[in-house]
């Protein structure tokens, strides 16, 4: 993989002498940026382009290039790639479009290319991409013009499914004083995908921060495993979000655990920072360039009371605490106040201190305070004569931040003329708004806290190797008795039940189980029994059962023990196309879809994760005992969640599982599942 970014020689296919030729643009980029390796230009005729020989084919080239870049019609690629294989080239970037993104029929062409690549042990980036930019060695392969002034070498690396966004993120990052050292555009991901490059970026010593723009995820579990293997911040902008299930109405779990919610849960589990805009992505890059926020104790200094109040509100919004300044610190600040009419508190209002040069000393003293984890500075600067002092201030803050290894989020407000001059005063991120700055500090603390806790070795298998049973062929809904037997076999408590076909059997089983009982339709074709009149509760004796039986539609029927009152919850699972089995927990009964108060985790989960899930729902206080109510049996619920996770992993044929409701009782008295649905296979 490293040779893709550090080739000694590159062959560019599809070059001509025409000024508008895109292959020629690639070569021009390489010369302009200063690629130090060899270039070989391949076209369809003998010619001289940019003072260099144009080869008619790869066989004429005197040596074996480290990699080849193709910008030729798609139909000509199999022959050209085969020629590269014979030559000994093992790395290819296909920038040409016109594959399955264009027409479904082009998949045959893709298979042909993969067959040839496998024959010669060739690795392929693309197709439909713009290749790689590496600021370190001048490699610049996009087929649109790239200027040296666009590229700022730095510790961020970017993996993008879009070639156009490579250009836009490059420019936006430059405006924000963020250096991105390596870009790779992966396009259609015919062979190499985001995970292959993520693995490389994690191992790359020059990459400290990794950004991803993805429209699809090739292997979600590998993505999670890679993210969990590193402390490097990974920032993901995921687009192309839409629900995919055509059977959502049948299962609460599918309705509640939409594709995007599963993605959110998986990213959170893996410590990946999800963003929704390019601006938010670059703001994340900026904060991760600073030392980490290691706690929640924040100091704020501003030049006006209004900004101090806004900053305090933002600190509260993002769950920071305003640290108390020591008497020694406040004494230092008071030396420079004029009228002495502003209270010395946190946020620190510097409206009475007009010496900008002294601000650096205040910042330094602030970071010296042992009870302060980070500093926010709000610095409006709209006077021409403050420009030199503000530039010095920014440079000093850059040095102070590194000296104390604590983050300083600097929010600058300036006039149009001097804005970029001040932003570029030091290799230091500047924020436009204090709310953005504090929000990003919260991201920094979230990252530090996630990676600072003890790590458990959890492997998210792409294929469930632990499966105990052969997957079911075709699609079916399990009948209720089969559902309950399977749940019971995994230690999941179910209400005592019996399947019956007539009234006599129903009476006998009800007496065995013990009144009161519940009568239900036992057909797998009736998924929402309550809505269809398929459930009659609290049947007290034979006579009531007889009346209920005659009201019920034709059987078979399920007789079930009527449970004592408790609190209704839902525990479910689904098989996600990207992340595999997912466990769901939330409010149950009729409230499951009404309030949509659920949390998700990708399996496997343990008791610790089960506890996290119970704490995350909005109704968490109910589980702990609310307004005089007794605490519910969280331990029993955790046991069910862990066992549902195990069931889903060991039964890959299960695509949807609803246990709704799970009735939980007070602490020490357990819980019981009274209804369940399981879907296997696919239609």
pLDDT higher than 50, residue 650: yes
- Of 259, 339, 350, 252, the closest CA to residue 299 belongs to 350
Mean pLDDT taken over the chain:
89
Task: Please compute, for residue 282, the number of CA atoms within 13 A of its CA located in the half-sphere on the CB side.
Answer: 22
| Residue of higher predicted confidence among 371 and 258 | 371
DSSP letters, 97-149, are: --STTT-GGGHHHHHHHHHHHHHHT-EEE-SSS--EEETTTTEE--SS---GG
The first and second tokens of residue 24, run together, are 């020629």
In this predicted structure, what is the pLDDT of residue 23?
Answer: 94
Do residues 347 and 371 make contact, with C-beta atoms less than 8 angstroms apart? Answer: no
Structure confidence at residue 239 (pLDDT)? 87
SS3 annotation, 274-290: EECCHHHHHHHHHHHCC
Q: Are 560 and 495 in contact (CB under 8 A)?
A: yes
Over residues 321-371, the pLDDT tens digits come to 999 988 888 888 877 666 554 567 899 988 777 788 889 999 999 999 999
Q: Are residues 374 and 441 in contact, defined by beta-carbon separation less than 8 angstroms?
A: yes
The answer, yes or no, to whether residue 682 has pLDDT greater than 90, is no
| Confidence at 527, pLDDT banded by 50, 70, 90 | low
Q: Are strands 52-55 and 47-49 parallel, antiparallel or unpaired?
A: antiparallel
pLDDT tens-digit readout, 539-580: 999 999 999 888 887 878 999 999 999 999 999 999 998 899
Does residue 308 contact residue 377 with C-beta atoms inside 8 Å?
no
pLDDT of residue 211: 98
pLDDT of residue 462: 55
Which among 486, 487, 482, 477 is positioned nearest to 673, based on CA atoms? 487
Q: By C-alpha distance, which of 298, 308, 311, 409 is closest to 349?
A: 308
Tell me: domain 496-561, CATH 3.40.190.290, correct?
Answer: no
Question: Smallest Cα–Cα separation from 292: which of 87, 442, 185?
Answer: 442
The encoded tokens of residue 671 equal 């819980």
What torsion, rounded to 10 degrees, do the Cα atoms 562, 563, 568, 569 define? -100
Q: Report the C-alpha gap between 24 and 181 in whole angstroms.
A: 24
Q: Which residue has the higher pLDDT, 455 or 315?
A: 315
Q: How many helices (H) and strands (E) does the chain have?
A: 23, 31
Which residues, at least 6 apart from 103, have a Cβ–Cβ distance to it below 8 Å? none
Through-space distance between the first and last CA atoms of the chain, rounded to whole angstroms:
41
Please name the residues in contact with 669: beta carbons below 8 A apart, sequence gap of 6 or more.
633
- Picking from 117-121, 385-389, 526-530, 579-583, which range would have the lowest pLDDT averaged per residue? 526-530
Helix (H, G, I), strand (E, B) or coil at 407: coil
Integer Cα distance of 336 and 328 in angstroms: 14
- Residue 101: CB atoms within 10 A of its CB come to 12
pTM of the predicted structure, to 2 decimals = 0.89
Helix (H, G, I), strand (E, B) or coil at 64: coil
CB 24 within 8 A of CB 15: yes
Q: Is the pLDDT of residue 376 over 60?
A: yes
When the candidates are 3.40.50.720, 3.30.470.10, 3.40.50.1370, 3.40.190.120, the CATH number that belongs to 1-140 is 3.40.50.720
**Separation of alpha carbons 595 and 237, rounded Å:** 28
pLDDT above 50 (res 489)? yes
Crossing angle of helices 163-175 and 278-288, in 10° steps, is 50
Domain range annotation of the chain: 1-140, 152-289, 291-428, 496-561, 567-680
Rounded percentage of the chain residues whose pLDDT exceeds 70:
89
Residues 261-276: tens digit of each pLDDT: 899 999 999 999 999 9
The architecture that CATH gives domain 291-428 is 3-Layer(aba) Sandwich (3.40)
Residue pair 339/460 in contact (Cβ under 8 Å)? The answer is: no
> Nearest-CA neighbor of 26 among 46, 11, 36, 37?
11
Class of CATH domain 152-289: alpha beta
Superfamily the domain 567-680 falls into = ATP-grasp fold, B domain (3.30.470.20)
How many residues are given for the chain? 683
- Of all residues in the chain, what percent are helix, strand and coil, respectively (each to 5)? 40, 20, 40
Residue showing tokens 């601000």: 359
- What the block records as the tokens of 9 is 């020689």
Average pLDDT over residues 678-682: 84
Q: Is the per-residue pLDDT at 159 higher than 80?
A: yes
User: Which contacts qualify for 262-265: CB closer than 8 Å, 24 or more apart?
Assistant: 262/574, 262/576, 262/578, 262/579, 262/582, 262/600, 262/602, 263/217, 263/220, 263/238, 263/578, 263/579, 264/600, 265/582, 265/599, 265/600, 265/601, 265/602
The answer for residues whose C-beta is within 8 angstroms of residue 482's C-beta and 6 or more apart is 678
463 pLDDT more than 90: no
Confidence of residue 590 (pLDDT cuts 50, 70, 90): low
Structure tokens at 571: 């525990």
Distance, CA of 344 to CA of 329 (rounded, Å): 10
Question: How far, in Å, CA of 91 to CA of 70, rounded?
Answer: 11
DSSP 414-430: E-TTTHHHHHTSSSS-E
Write the pLDDT tens digit of every residue in 32-63.
Answer: 999 989 999 999 888 898 888 999 999 999 99
What is the 3 state secondary structure string of 573-601? EEEECCCEEEEEEEECCCHHHHHCCEEEE
The mean-pLDDT minimum among 229-238, 447-456, 494-503 falls in 447-456
Asked if 1-140 and 291-428 have one fold, the answer is yes
Closest CA to 378 of 292, 448, 315, 442: 315
């Amino acid at each position: 993989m490293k040779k893709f970014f550090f080739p000694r020689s590159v062959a560019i296919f599809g070059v001509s002498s025409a000024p508008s030729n895109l292959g020629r643009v690639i070569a021009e980029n390489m010369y302009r940026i200063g690629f130090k390796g060899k270039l070989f230009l391949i076209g369809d005729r003998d010619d001289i382009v940019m003072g260099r020989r144009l080869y008619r084919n790869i066989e004429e080239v005197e040596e074996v290039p480290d990699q080849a870049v193709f910008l030729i019609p798609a139909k000509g690629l199999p022959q050209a790639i085969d020629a590269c294989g014979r030559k000994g080239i093992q790395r290819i970037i296909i920038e040409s479009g016109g594959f399955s993104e264009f027409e479904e029929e082009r998949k045959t062409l893709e298979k042909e290319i993969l067959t040839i690549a496998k024959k010669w042990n060739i690795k392929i980036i693309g197709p439909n991409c713009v290749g790689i930019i590496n600021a370190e060695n001048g490699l610049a392969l996009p087929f649109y013009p790239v200027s040296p002034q666009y590229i700022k070498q730095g510790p961020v690396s970017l993996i993008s499914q879009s070639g156009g966004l490579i250009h836009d993120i490059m420019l936006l990052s430059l405006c924000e004083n963020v250096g991105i050292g390596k870009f790779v555009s992966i396009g259609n991901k015919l062979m190499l995908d985001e995970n292959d490059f993520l693995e490389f970026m994690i191992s790359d010593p020059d990459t400290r921060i990794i950004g991803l723009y993805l429209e699809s995820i090739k292997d979600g579990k590998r993505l999670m495993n890679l993210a969990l293997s590193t402390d490097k911040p990974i920032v993901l902008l995921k687009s192309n979000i839409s629900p995919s299930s055509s059977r959502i109405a049948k299962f609460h779990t599918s309705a509640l655990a939409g594709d995007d919610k599963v993605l959110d849960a998986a990213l959170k589990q893996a410590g990946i920072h999800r963003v929704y805009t390019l601006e938010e992505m670059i703001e994340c890059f900026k904060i991760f360039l600073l030392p980490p926020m290691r706690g929640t104790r924040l100091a704020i200094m501003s030049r006006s009371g209004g900004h101090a109040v806004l900053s305090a509100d933002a600190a509260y919004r993002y769950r920071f605490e305003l640290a108390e300044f020591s008497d020694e610190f406040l004494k230092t600040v008071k030396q420079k106040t004029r009228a002495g009419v502003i209270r010395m508190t946190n946020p620190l209002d510097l409206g009475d201190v007009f010496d900008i040069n002294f601000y650096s000393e205040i910042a330094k003293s602030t970071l010296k305070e042992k009870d302060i984890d980070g500093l926010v500075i709000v610095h409006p600067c709209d006077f021409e004569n403050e420009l030199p002092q503000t530039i010095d201030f920014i440079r000093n803050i850059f040095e102070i931040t590194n000296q104390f290894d604590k983050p300083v989020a600097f929010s600058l407000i300036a006039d149009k003329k001097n804005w970029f001059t001040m932003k570029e005063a030091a290799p230091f991120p500047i924020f436009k708004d204090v709310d953005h700055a504090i929000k990003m500090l919260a991201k920094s603390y979230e990252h530090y806290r996630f990676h600072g806790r003890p790590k458990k070795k959890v492997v998210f298998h792409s294929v469930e190797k632990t499966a105990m049973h052969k997957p079911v062929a075709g699609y079916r809904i399990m009948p209720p008795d089969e559902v309950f037997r399977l749940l019971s076999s995994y230690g999941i408590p179910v209400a005592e039940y019996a399947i019956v076909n007539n009234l006599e059997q129903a009476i006998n089983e009800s007496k065995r189980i013990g009144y009161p009982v519940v009568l239900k339709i036992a057909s797998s074709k009736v998924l929402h029994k309550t809505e269809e009149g398929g459930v009659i509760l609290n049947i007290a004796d034979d006579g009531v059962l007889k009346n209920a039986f005659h009201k019920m539609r034709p059987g078979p029927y399920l007789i079930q023990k009527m449970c004592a009152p408790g609190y209704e919850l839902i525990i479910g699972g689904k098989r996600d196309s990207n992340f595999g089995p997912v466990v769901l927990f939330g409010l149950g009964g009729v409230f499951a879809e009404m309030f949509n108060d659920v949390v998700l985790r990708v399996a496997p989960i343990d008791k610790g994760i089960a506890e996290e899930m119970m704490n995350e729902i909005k109704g968490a206080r109910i589980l702990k005992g609310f307004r005089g109510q007794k605490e519910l049996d969280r331990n029993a619920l955790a046991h069910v969640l862990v066992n549902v996770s195990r069931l889903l992993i060991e039964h890959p044929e299960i695509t949807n599982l609803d246990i709704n409701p799970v009735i939980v009782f007070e602490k020490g008295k357990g819980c019981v599942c009274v209804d369940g649905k399981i879907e296997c296979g696919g239609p």
